[in-house]
């Protein structure tokens, strides 16, 4: 009897010590998963090591304003990093704003500071962020709709959004935000159904955690657009050269002046009412007499939009 008890004690001790190791192995690159905020339907995760894929379920209300509800698969990291994944909506959710995110988060609190690369079911792609705990969420929208693969890069105090096809190159979208985080932070994948009564399942495949590429830090100027009065910004044109000035020549055409020359950027409306580049920029010989070279915010002729020119500092 004594021998049996000793064996049982040794086995239980072994299993207890192996528990965290087995859990980490079950989640591949990540350490744990949890529901953020108060949720009606607990989230789930299934890991397929052969495909480096995570099928994550979440039935949560929203990720916006001053609090989030979503399911989060995470690990703690520090320093510069990049997280990439190919995303497919595989569940039965119905809300157009249900979303898959690649996230950097200060803590697991519902109102924590964070930044994420978010792909919505309707194709909207954006860099969402909460600058400080308890603040309202904001976003910078990418100039493309419905990419298949995203990458979120953190370099110093800055986060950058890359996007592209499932099997093609990822390029910087021009969406970037400053979010200083010191020490360790949470890096992971998240799913939100955008409806507390629904349950959305999303599959993230070919998930990679790597060093940042550095390609986004080569962008020096970014032309953004936002509704008037101001709302969520949308990155339109990231440039590796310095943009000196911008001006509207029509309600849907912006002229961009760089040191190398001047070109027209025609815009077209999207289904969500936003504007996006309508095609490749073309040379333009018009004069920018209505705009001083240091102007930053320029309203469109019809007053519906504001073009916003910002210069990106080197990553620190």
List the pLDDT tens digit at each of the 316 positions of the chain: 444 444 433 433 333 333 333 355 599 999 999 999 999 999 999 999 998 999 999 999 999 999 999 999 999 999 999 999 999 999 988 999 999 999 999 999 999 999 999 999 999 999 999 999 999 999 999 988 899 999 999 999 999 999 999 998 999 999 999 999 989 999 999 999 999 999 999 999 999 999 999 899 999 999 999 988 767 889 999 999 989 889 898 889 999 988 888 999 999 887 777 788 888 889 987 665 545 545 588 899 999 999 999 888 765 5
Quick one: 65 and 207 in the same domain? yes
252 within domain boundaries: yes
Phi, psi of 11, deg, nearest 5: -65, -45
258 within domain boundaries: yes
* Degrees to nearest 5, angle at CA 250 with 248 and 251: 95
4 within domain boundaries: no
For residue 21, the model assigns a pLDDT of 30
237 within domain boundaries: yes
Quick one: 54 and 197 in the same domain? yes
68 within domain boundaries: yes
CATH number at residue 106: 2.60.120.200
Quick one: 186 and 64 in the same domain? yes
Phi, psi of 302, deg, nearest 5: -90, 0
Structural domains of the chain, count: 2
145 within domain boundaries: yes
Which candidate, 85, 109, 146, 137, places its Cα nearest to that of 271? Answer: 146
Quick one: 105 and 199 in the same domain? yes
Cα 62 from chain centroid (whole Å): 15
Burial of 49-82, coded b for 16+ CB within 10 Å and e otherwise, reads eeebbbbbbbbbbbbbeebbbbbbbbbebeeebb
**Residue owning tokens 């929203």:** 62
Alpha carbon distance 216, 220 (integer Å)? 9
Residue range(s) defining the domain that contains residue 201: 25-215
Which candidate, 229, 117, 254, places its Cα nearest to that of 175? Answer: 117
249 within domain boundaries: yes
Quick one: 94 and 242 in the same domain? no
Quick one: 301 and 202 in the same domain? no
In the DSSP assignment, the letter for residue 115 is E
189 within domain boundaries: yes
Phi, psi of 244, deg, nearest 5: -90, -35
215, 238, 264 — which closes off a domain? 215
Quick one: 202 and 56 in the same domain? yes
Quick one: 139 and 228 in the same domain? no
For residue 314, the model assigns a pLDDT of 67
């Amino acid at each position: 009897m004594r021998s049996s008890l000793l064996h049982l004690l040794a086995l239980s001790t072994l299993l207890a010590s192996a528990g965290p190791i087995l859990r980490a192995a079950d989640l591949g690159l990540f350490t744990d998963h949890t529901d953020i905020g108060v949720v009606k339907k607990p989230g789930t995760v299934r890991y397929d090591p052969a495909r480096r894929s995570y099928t994550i379920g979440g039935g949560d209300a929203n990720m916006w304003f001053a609090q989030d509800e979503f399911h989060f698969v995470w690990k703690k990291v520090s320093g510069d990093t990049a997280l990439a994944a190919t995303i497919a909506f595989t569940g039965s959710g119905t809300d157009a704003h249900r979303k898959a995110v690649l996230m950097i988060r200060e803590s697991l609190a519902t109102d924590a500071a964070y930044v994420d690369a978010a792909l919505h079911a309707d194709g909207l792609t954006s860099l969402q962020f909460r600058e400080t705990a308890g603040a309202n969420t904001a976003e910078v929208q990418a100039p493309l709709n419905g990419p298949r693969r995203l990458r979120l890069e953190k370099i110093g105090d800055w986060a950058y959004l890359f996007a592209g096809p499932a099997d093609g190159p990822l390029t910087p979208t021009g969406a970037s935000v400053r979010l200083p985080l010191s020490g360790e932070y949470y890096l992971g994948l998240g799913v939100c159904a955008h409806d507390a009564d629904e349950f959305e399942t999303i599959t993230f495949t070919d998930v990679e955690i790597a060093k940042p590429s550095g390609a986004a830090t080569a962008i020096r100027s970014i032309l953004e657009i936002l509704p008037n009065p101001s709302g969520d910004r949308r990155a339109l044109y990231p440039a590796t050269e310095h943009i000196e000035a911008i001006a509207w020549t029509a309600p849907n055409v912006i002229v961009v002046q760089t040191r190398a020359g001047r070109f027209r950027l025609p815009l077209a409306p999207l289904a969500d009412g936003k504007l996006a580049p309508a095609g490749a920029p073309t040379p333009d010989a018009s004069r920018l007499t209505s705009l001083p070279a240091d102007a930053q915010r320029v309203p469109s002729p019809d007053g519906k939009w504001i073009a916003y020119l910002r210069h990106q500092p080197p990553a620190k």
